[in-house]
Amino acid sequence: MRSCSFLSHSPCTMFLLPVHLDHRDLTGHCDPDLQNCRSLLNIVRGCLTTIAACVWVSVHPNLPAPNQGRIRGMFTRIKVMLIAIAMPEAVIVFPVRQFFAARAFPKTYHVSMTHGFFFTMGGFIDTERRSLLTSEDLERPGVLKSIREVREEDIRDKSKADALAKAFAILQASWFIMQCVARVLQRLPLTQTEVATLAFALLNIVMWLFWWHKPLGVNEGIIVEERTDITGLRKYEPTRPSYATSSLDWFNRFIDEMVGALGGDYEEHQRAHSVPAFWSGEGAVEVPLLGETDLPTVAVVTEAISALIFGASHCTAWNTHFPTAVEMWLWRVCSIIVGLGPGTMAVSLFVDLLSDGKRYERLTTVLFYTPVMLYPIARPVLIILMLTTLRNLPSEVLFDVDWTGFIPHVA
């Protein structure tokens, strides 16, 4: 196998040094004389498979509207998955809030965490009003007793997350991350597509951990009667339109759902037949936290940290090869916006809370609305660049990992 000059770079500076092109530069085809090489198709296929596997298992939407058919329900799940792909650092706020809300159920109501997740995702239905159970309903001894009689195994049986799908997602994500680490150790550069996929995989693993006990793909709720003998699992048929079929257009519903994920206000959905796709349900139960820290603060801080990790991961490709200087600077600027945008919004919220609200009004307005205007531009640009930069790859990118180098052996 030919010797490669790029192996002389220091491992610590691999991402910070420009890649120098030479006569071996390729545009997507491996040199047949090389023993360890990969094609452009291998790179794209590995990234797409990792993203698809991660998002299919990690995203746990709430129960759909009861009058939704299978096809419409599938489109709803695809919509949520696409949003999770486009804005993973924003969507992660939802599982964080829902996790803390569900975690309060074992201590407060003496039921499992799975029961808590099922409650917050709109799974328990009042047989009298034919609407979702609320925190007020949990104060009724008969209702709470009926919920306790629902076995955790019965709720888990409604989940569509089988062990095979989880195992495949874990293996695919682990294999992809291991390949990226191995390339760094062997001083092989990564493409911008791989860097973006790695950042996505890391956030999805965190999202998956927060939703570990949440049922996946549940289509029908459990009707709860205020008596000792619970009716069990029965299909719920609504008597009036649900939230999902309201007159609001899709964009307004999406904004309302995302605000709900941050605010957790449950009151306006207390008599609804389903909860929005991104609803955390935190307002339905008192959530005890350490000290005086409230859940909205935890959500904002989590969003800022997640965005910082996501943006910093993209910044690791700061000085890698780009087809043009314009694409290089677009990648750098957009990575900074994506990484620091939510953080500046968090700072503006904290400054507004700690001050009298008027003293730093102009500063907080700029800090909050600047990322709001720039993020919808920066994130799509990064997605486009992770694809367009594949048209002109240096030869070093197409060298595959030499796995024998990690195995102790005698030369």
Query: Taking 90 as the threshold, does the pLDDT of residue 35 lie above it?
Result: no
The string of pLDDT tens digits covering residues 228-278 is 444 443 433 443 333 333 333 444 454 445 444 444 444 444 445 556 555
> In this structure, are residues 89 and 346 in contact, taking their beta carbons and an 8 Å threshold?
no
Tell me the β-bridge partners of 125.
132, 223
Query: Taking 90 as the threshold, does the pLDDT of residue 7 lie above it?
Result: no
In residues, how long is the chain? 411
Question: CA 348, CA 333: separation in Å to the nearest integer?
Answer: 21
Tell me the β-bridge partners of 222.
124
Q: Residue 6 — very low, low, confident or very high, per pLDDT cuts 50/70/90?
A: very low
Question: CA 85, CA 91: separation in Å to the nearest integer?
Answer: 9
Percent of the chain with pLDDT over 70: 69
> In this structure, are residues 282 and 97 in contact, taking their beta carbons and an 8 Å threshold?
yes
**pLDDT mean over 317-332:** 94
Query: Taking 90 as the threshold, does the pLDDT of residue 217 lie above it?
Result: no
Query: Taking 90 as the threshold, does the pLDDT of residue 337 lie above it?
Result: yes
pLDDT of the residue at 278: 56
Q: Give the chain's mean pLDDT.
A: 75
Which pair of structure tokens corresponds to residue 384? Answer: 């486009």
Question: CA 57, CA 84: separation in Å to the nearest integer?
Answer: 12
Interior/surface letters 5-22, b for 16+ CB within 10 angstroms, e for the rest: ebeebeeeebbeeebeee
Residue recorded with tokens 């994506």: 338
Question: CA 373, CA 2: separation in Å to the nearest integer?
Answer: 49
pLDDT of the residue at 291: 40
Q: Residue 367 — very low, low, confident or very high, per pLDDT cuts 50/70/90?
A: confident
Would you give the distance in Å from CA 385 to the centre of its chain?
A: 21
For residues 250, 253, 258, 260, the Cα torsion angle rounded to the nearest 10 degrees is: -170
By mean pLDDT, which of 63-77, 289-303, 364-378 is the weakest? 289-303
Query: Taking 70 as the threshold, does the pLDDT of residue 5 lie above it?
Result: no
Which contacts (CB < 8 Å, 24+ apart) does range 154-157 have? 154/222, 154/232, 154/233, 155/114, 155/115, 155/118, 155/123, 155/215, 155/222, 156/114, 156/215
Q: Residue 334 — very low, low, confident or very high, per pLDDT cuts 50/70/90?
A: very high
Query: Taking 80 as the threshold, does the pLDDT of residue 81 lie above it?
Result: yes
Which contacts (CB < 8 Å, 24+ apart) does range 259-267 have? 261/93, 261/94, 261/97, 261/299, 262/93, 262/97, 262/296, 262/299, 262/300, 263/296, 264/97, 264/101, 264/295, 264/296, 266/134, 266/135
pLDDT of the residue at 263: 46
Most confident of 77-91, 183-197, 226-240: 183-197
More confident residue, 346 or 22: 346
By mean pLDDT, which of 17-21, 69-73, 204-208 is the weakest? 17-21
Interior/surface letters 374-387, b for 16+ CB within 10 angstroms, e for the rest: bbeebbebbeebbe
The angle at the Cα of 168, spanning 37 to 404, to the nearest 5 degrees, equals 35
pTM for the full model?
0.73
The string of pLDDT tens digits covering residues 120-147 is 888 888 776 556 777 777 777 788 888 8
> Could you state, in order of their start, the residue ranges of all structural domains in the chain?
40-241+250-391
pLDDT of the residue at 273: 52
Helices 250-263 + 295-315 axis angle, to 10: 110
Question: CA 273, CA 125: separation in Å to the nearest integer?
Answer: 8
pLDDT of the residue at 300: 75
More confident residue, 200 or 247: 200
Which pair of structure tokens corresponds to residue 245? Answer: 């079929």
The runs of H, that is alpha helices, within 218-275 are 250-263
Interior/surface letters 315-339, b for 16+ CB within 10 angstroms, e for the rest: bbbebbbbeeeebbebbbebbbbbb
By mean pLDDT, which of 106-110, 113-117, 160-164, 314-318 is the weakest? 160-164
